[in-house]
A and B are shown apart, each in its own frame.
Chain A
């Protein structure tokens, strides 16, 4: 069965520092996608970045990058030069090829301190 584990309930980082949010996953399907979502205090779920299981390179989207280590089954989100607006809950999720549902981790609450 699919499973996502986020082991950091909360993270506190100084503004302008880089931060890594951990995510490990488990699946028996060789074809899958990994996603990160941001949920600010206003409550909406914002899609940030995607990594495919067959992608050779780590995904990047602006200040977001995904450190994908397939053998370790990890897909950590890296935020460079953190900003106060990055304070939010962050969810890692995965989806097997052809599967209906996204499987979510429990989330990491990131707080950026000025």
Chain B
């Protein structure tokens, strides 16, 4: 299994509070991703990173920010959480951008915003 650890695994918080999710990898892969999974939508890309301090937006980036200060860590921050951000969040990693390269996923973080 790919060495990807997400923390926390579960979190319940209140609307308006800041939340940070962490993804840690031991594979030394260059590319890291944050997705959210919602019923009826499959997984959708929030942000991604193509190197240390190099990040860009995905298709559902509003309300989220990311940071990557080390190859192994990719942080997702909700500056002021809203109920619409209740979801399951997955981190993924990829070694290259070749189309035959699968992304490998962490076990997910279940986030509930009350």
Q: How many residue pairs bridge A and B at CB < 8 Å?
A: 71
A53 to chain B, nearest CB (A): 7
- Digitize A75-114: 1 where CB-to-B-CB distance is under 8 Å, 0 elsewhere: 0000000000000000101011111111011110000000
Q: Given A44-B108, A91-B42, A106-B41, does the pair A100, B56 have CB atoms closer than 8 Å?
A: yes
Q: How far is the CA of A107 from the CA of B56 in the complex (A)?
A: 26
Determine the residue in chain B with the shortest Cβ distance to A92: B42
Contact of A101 among B58, B88, B98, B104 (CB under 8 A): B58
A102:B97 contact, CB within 8 angstroms: no
Contact of A96 among B44, B99, B103, B105 (CB under 8 A): B99
Please tell me the size bucket of the interface on A. 20 to 34
Q: List 20 A-B contacts (CB under 8 A).
A: A4-B42, A31-B99, A33-B101, A43-B107, A44-B105, A44-B106, A45-B90, A47-B102, A47-B105, A52-B99, A95-B99, A95-B103, A97-B98, A98-B99, A99-B97, A99-B99, A100-B33, A100-B48, A101-B48, A101-B58
A residues with CB within 8 A of B: 4, 31-33, 35, 37, 43-45, 47, 50, 52-53, 91, 93, 95-102, 104-107
Given contacts A91-B43, A95-B101, 5 further A-B contacts (CB under 8 A): A44-B105, A53-B99, A102-B43, A104-B43, A105-B42
B residues with CB within 8 A of A: 31, 33, 40-45, 48, 50, 56, 58-59, 88, 90, 92, 97-108, 110
